Amino acid sequence: MNALIYVFVATVAVAAVLATLAIWAPRAPKTRFAALLATLLFIPLGYVQLVEMLARPKPINFEWFRRDVEQAQILGASLDEGRAIYLWLRVDKDIEPRYYVLPWKQNVAEKLEDLIDNAVRNNTTIILKEPFIRKFMKDMGDLNANIVPPPLPPQKMPTPPPQIFNPRQENI
């Protein structure tokens, strides 16, 4: 969401440059007006497209800026049999989850389903190792995932023995 405003500003800047070139070009006024009108329509269409992209899953091989991520936690998955595998991932130390789509592979879907069942049964989490490397789905054709048990709670100190008041004792 943070990068959306920068992408939109870049889109508006490119549209403004194109409109400026179209206005100052030695063409007929009708052609310049049509170029200006096309630019004015391009800006809201660009914004609508950017906002619409926010709700769509990103193909996992289109993740270019996070190629060096070592691990991602699977928060949820949805299997669309024969079409795609949808994953909610929490990448490394990010707070907000990311929505990705994988191409359908039967063995990956079965392994993912088994991992999720085991994780739910044992109250654990699933960690994907190097989810965005190029050979993740093409060459390997398998998930590189581990089930990680939850961290142990800190050890509690033993309770001190109760202190009993004895009125006959010298030090009170």
Distance between start and end Cα atoms, the chain: 66
Residue 63 domain flag: yes
Answer yes or no: do 63 and 48 share one domain.
no
Please name which of 123, 113, 121 lies closest in space to residue 149, comparing C-alpha atoms.
123
For 86, phi and psi rounded to 5 degrees?
Answer: -105, 130
Answer yes or no: do 49 and 92 share one domain.
no
Answer yes or no: do 144 and 85 share one domain.
yes
Q: Which domain holds residue 47?
A: 2-54
Answer yes or no: do 86 and 144 share one domain.
yes
CATH number at residue 121: 2.40.50
In sequence order, what E strands does 56-124 have? 58-59, 71-80, 84-91, 98-103
pLDDT of residue 137: 57
Higher pLDDT, 3 or 70: 70
pLDDT of residue 117: 92
Other CB atoms within 10 Å distance of the CB of residue 130: 15
pLDDT one-digit tens code per residue, 11-68: 888 888 888 887 787 888 888 888 888 888 888 888 887 777 777 888 887 787 778 8
pLDDT one-digit tens code per residue, 86-119: 999 998 877 888 888 888 888 888 888 999 999 9
Answer yes or no: do 41 and 15 share one domain.
yes
Please state, for a pLDDT cut of 90, what percent of the chain lies above it. 8
CB 84 within 8 Å of CB 91: no
Residue 164 domain flag: no
Residue 133 domain flag: yes
User: How many structural domains is the chain composed of?
Assistant: 2
Answer yes or no: do 64 and 43 share one domain.
no
Higher pLDDT, 138 or 107: 107
Answer yes or no: do 50 and 65 share one domain.
no
Residue 29 domain flag: yes
User: Alpha-carbon distance 82 to 1, whole Å?
Assistant: 31
Answer yes or no: do 8 and 79 share one domain.
no
| Beta bridge partner(s), residue 76 | 88
